[in-house]
């Protein structure tokens, strides 16, 4: 595949067309793989050129995006790659925070199976493919709440690193995702 292990960096910092659009595995523009900013830029160009539209952003959303002051997709819009990412990490870290301290064999098996299924259906396909690659190299740790939280933190840090974001201190996951700051 074009996002094979030899192009790991390119698959994390998603491969874009010159206009910033990320393509899905069907070769078509993938809305949920692209940032709202890049997607609306393309939509505006299309509207001016008057060809058929790929998406259906409301006129209000397009207008606000055209001011270039809206860095994120408005609430009522389908998620972009960043919104989906934030919502998903929130879910994954929170799930790990409330996973049993000492999970049964059955719970460990279910969690492994969930993570495998998750990596097959995550809707930003190039993101999912990269996640599957990393999972093969570093299989999920499901033997305890601590181990799972750590593993997800480390997976998230791999993406952070590739995107040039700050590396998160994995000793702070309970404070961030379960207990809140100490006073
Ligand atoms: P996010 O990275 O979404 O993080 C949300 C919050 O989590 C942060 O504000 C911080 O408080 C906390 N946090 C940060 N790091 C950690 C950590 N290591 N452990 C615990 N908590 C942490 N985007 C791409 O452009 N390319 C990709 O290939 C890609 N792959 C992804 C794969 C998956 C499985 C997911 C869920 C998302 C992926 N994303 C990808 C999206 C990307 O990771 C971000 O979610 C998105 O860029 C928005 O970033 P953000 O700065 O808002 O914070």
pLDDT at residue number 166? 98
Flag whether pLDDT at 152 surpasses 60.
Answer: yes
Report the nearest-CA residue for atom 45 of ligand 1: 85
CA of 77 to the centre of ligand 1 (A): 20
pLDDT at residue number 41? 80
pTM: 0.84
Flag whether pLDDT at 71 surpasses 70.
Answer: no
The conformation of residue 175, written as its DSSP 8-state character, comes to I
Report the nearest-CA residue for atom 14 of ligand 1: 168
Q: Which atom of ligand 1 is nearest to the CA of 13?
A: 26
More confident residue, 119 or 38: 119
CA of 50 to the centre of ligand 1 (A): 35
Mean pLDDT, to the nearest integer, of 66-94?
Answer: 84
Taking the C-alpha atoms of residue 165 and residue 157, their distance in angstroms, rounded to an integer, is 9
Domain ranges of the chain: 5-66, 81-179
Flag whether pLDDT at 129 surpasses 60.
Answer: yes
Report the nearest-CA residue for atom 47 of ligand 1: 82
| CA 91 to the chain's CA centroid | 11
The conformation of residue 52, written as its DSSP 8-state character, comes to -
CATH 1.10.1500.10 fits 81-179, yes or no: no
């Amino acid at each position: 595949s074009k996002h094979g292990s030899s192009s790991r960096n390119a698959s994390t910092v998603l491969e874009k067309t010159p206009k910033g659009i990320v393509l899905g595995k069907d070769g078509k523009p993938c809305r949920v793989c692209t940032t709202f900013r890049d997607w609306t830029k393309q939509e505006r160009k299309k509207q001016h050129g008057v060809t058929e539209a790929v998406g259906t952003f409301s006129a209000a959303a397009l207008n606000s995006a055209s001011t270039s002051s809206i860095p994120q997709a408005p609430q009522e819009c389908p998620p972009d790659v960043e919104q989906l990412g934030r919502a998903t990490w929130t879910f994954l870290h929170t799930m790990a925070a409330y996973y049993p301290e000492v999970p049964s064999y059955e719970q460990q098996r279910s969690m492994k199976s969930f993570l495998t299924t998750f990596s097959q259906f995550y809707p930003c396909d190039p993101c999912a493919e990269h996640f599957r690659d990393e999972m093969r190299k570093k299989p999920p740790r499901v033997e305890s709440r601590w181990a799972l939280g750590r593993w997800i933190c480390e997976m998230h840090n791999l993406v952070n690193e590739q995107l040039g974001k700050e590396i998160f201190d994995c000793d702070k996951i309970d404070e961030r995702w379960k207990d809140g700051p100490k006073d």
